[in-house]
Amino acid sequence: MDEVTQAVENLKKEWSQAVSQLEESIATIKSCGKTGKGTEEANSLPRLNGSAQDALQLLKSLQFRLDLLAQQLPTFEEVQSGQATLESWDEQYKKLRASLRNANLQAKENIRKAAQEERELLLGGGEESTIRRRNLQTKAGMTSAAESITESLRRSRQMMVQEVERSASTLATFDESTSVLRKAEGEYQGHRSLLMRTRGLLSTMQRQDVLDRVILTAGFIIFSLAVLYVVSRRIGLLTLQRKLADAVRSGSLSAEDIVAKAQPGPAATNVPAPAPPIYDEL
């Protein structure tokens, strides 16, 4: 499972636990004043509301974290599911907030009725009323001290919740930066492989260029040698032709000698001339 998907599942579990805790607090607030201890329960009502407000703040923080993580889910279907979950959480948050408001109204009404009954009992006189007043004073002092400590703890918890939200926002930013860096690293790897292939192609082209130069140089040398050979042969023939022409002009060599030398076979020197024909005269 992907890390973001796992984080979303953990958020859903935290949401369920926070909702259960808030519903218990709402039920406790709604039942305030029904036991007949109006003054004591009136003093505990701010503590219960503080706990409920902390739960609401936690739900709001979970909504914010889900909104950040929903955009980072790997598939489009999971993103749509995350958005739908976020909308349902928002509706549930509004309903819980309205329930808390109604529970406070009910608790105030119950406490008012219980306080009225206690007042009527205290004004009735007698030893029972005196003992009840003393007990109420003692419990009121203890309750006041407990409420002061609870309020201090609630403020500390509120500060811790804010720090957790700030840390969650920072972690989300870090995760986004990490994903951007991973994408940049992937693009760099792709460019690196492309550069390696380009370097290989350049090396091959350089080798081919050197080979082409060698082939062109060798061909040019062979062509030059052939041209020199043809020119030298041509110059030799022209020189021989010039010498023969000079010899013919000077008379030291006749044309018949030249033809005889040019024809193949043994030279026809010292061949006796044919005998004249003999005729019989009768």
Please identify which residue in the block is written with the tokens 């406070």: 104
pLDDT of residue 48: 81
Instruction: Decide if pLDDT at 141 tops 70.
Output: no
The whole-number pLDDT of residue 223 equals 92
pLDDT band at 215 (very low <50, low <70, confident <90, very high): very high
Per residue in 147-160, pLDDT tens?
677 777 778 877 88
- Mean pLDDT, rounded, for 31-59: 74
Mean pLDDT, range 193-207, rounded to an integer: 88
CA distances 250 to 51, 82, 236, 245, 272, Å, are 143, 120, 21, 9, 29
Query: What's residue 278's pLDDT?
Result: 46
Angle between helices 76-122 and 3-30 (to 10 degrees): 20
Residue with the larger pLDDT of the pair 157 and 24: 24
Instruction: With H, G, I as helix, E, B as strand and everything else as coil, classify residue 73.
Output: coil
DSSP single-letter state for residue 273? P
pLDDT-derived band at 38, boundaries 50, 70, 90? low
* Segment of 99-108, 159-168, 216-225, 254-263 carrying the highest mean pLDDT: 216-225
Higher pLDDT, 28 or 35: 28
The whole-angstrom separation of Cα 86 and Cα 46 is 30
Q: Is the pLDDT of residue 217 over 90?
A: yes
CA nearest to 62, candidates 28, 96, 30, 24: 96
pTM value?
0.45
Lowest mean pLDDT among 76-85, 169-178, 233-242: 233-242
